[in-house]
């Protein structure tokens, strides 16, 4: 039997973290690096990537940044090509780019709808196509982790398009898990409860925070490190029999009614 350290080690693995310049996925990338992975931060903001990479390198980890538009299939293909050229392989993919908006349903303009669906759903679809083709053709045992949301499981007020986009990600993940399981490619959805992050700052007004806390048994927000541990389980060999799963990390939010 493997030791506990081997079960959760990412030694010899290269992990692509799309959205790794953001707060939560950046923490996941840092956690992967501490577990031994070479991490590739993917996003648009080089300055944010530099700060995260400084922390990774200072702790003795390995990683680098590649700028890319997650909504462009051409960019994603170039990303894969660059990773293979530089690292020679990859076997972990995290799809974590995301945007949100509190616009009331009847006032949502088409361009806002398109922007949210393109970033939250289409980008995941395209990345799964591009990297999935590589995993399938090269027979790479891999782990794909798509960032979902509590609102993708149960409707949440004030974030209509976001909820739609994440529900689609949940469904796509299950379909791909079923399709690719015989090939050793696992696809899971990491489902954060309420974690303060860039994409939800506009939504988290005091009144809404009070409602969230009243519905969260732990009576607090999640901390980024608490999402890292769940992501590590899904990425490492310790989670080798987990696929098609919605890994909820929510302080009990989904277990409560009134």
197-220: pLDDT as tens digits: 765 666 778 888 998 999 999 999
Check pLDDT > 90 for residue 77: yes
User: 120: pLDDT confidence band, cut at 50, 70 and 90?
Assistant: very high
In what helix (H) or strand (E) does residue 167 lie, and over which residues does it extend? helix 160-180
Burial class (CB in 10 A: 0-12, 13-18, 19+), 24: buried
Note the pLDDT of residue 205: 84
d(CA 184, CA 172): 17
Residue that wins the pLDDT comparison between 202 and 24: 24
Range of the domain at 19: 4-255
Note the pLDDT of residue 200: 65
pTM: 0.95
Number of domains in the chain: 1
- Arithmetic mean of pLDDT, 54-83: 97
In what helix (H) or strand (E) does residue 163 lie, and over which residues does it extend? helix 160-180
Check pLDDT > 80 for residue 1: no
Long-range contacts at 203-207 (CB < 8 A, ≥ 24 apart): 203/100, 203/102, 203/158, 203/159
Report the CATH number that the domain containing residue 43 is assigned in CATH: 3.40.50.720
Note the pLDDT of residue 155: 84
Check pLDDT > 70 for residue 226: yes
Long-range contacts at 43-48 (CB < 8 A, ≥ 24 apart): 43/18, 43/19, 43/67, 43/68, 43/97, 44/68, 44/69, 45/21, 48/21, 48/22
Q: What is the pLDDT of residues 159-186, one digit of tens each?
A: 999 999 999 999 999 999 999 999 999 9
Most distant CA atoms of the chain, gap in Å: 57
């Amino acid at each position: 039997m493997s030791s506990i350290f081997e079960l959760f080690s990412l030694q010899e693995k290269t992990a692509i973290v799309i959205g790794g310049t953001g707060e939560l996925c950046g923490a996941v990338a840092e956690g992967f690096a501490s577990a031994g992975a070479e991490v590739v931060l993917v996003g648009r903001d080089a300055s944010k990537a530099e700060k995260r990479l400084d922390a990774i390198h200072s702790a003795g980890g390995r990683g680098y940044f590649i700028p890319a538009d997650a909504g462009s299939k051409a960019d994603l293909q170039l990303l894969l090509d660059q990773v293979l050229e530089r690292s020679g392989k990859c076997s972990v993919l995290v799809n974590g780019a995301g945007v949100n908006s509190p616009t009331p349903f009847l006032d949502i303009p088409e361009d806002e709808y398109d922007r949210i669906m393109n970033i939250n759903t289409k980008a995941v679809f395209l990345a799964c196509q591009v990297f999935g083709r590589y995993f399938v053709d090269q027979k790479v045992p891999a782990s794909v982790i798509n960032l979902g949301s509590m609102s993708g499981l149960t409707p949440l007020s004030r974030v209509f398009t976001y909820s739609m986009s994440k529900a689609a990600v949940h469904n796509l993940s299950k379909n791909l898990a079923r399709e690719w399981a015989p090939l050793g490619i696992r696809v899971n959805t990491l489902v954060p409860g309420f974690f303060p992050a860039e994409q939800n700052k506009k939504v988290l007004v005091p009144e809404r925070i009070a409602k969230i806390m009243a519905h969260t048994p732990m009576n607090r927000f999640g901390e980024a490190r608490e999402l890292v541990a769940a992501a590590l389980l899904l990425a490492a060999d310790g989670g080798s029999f987990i696929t098609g799963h919605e890994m909820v990390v929510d302080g009990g939010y989904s277990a409560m009614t009134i």
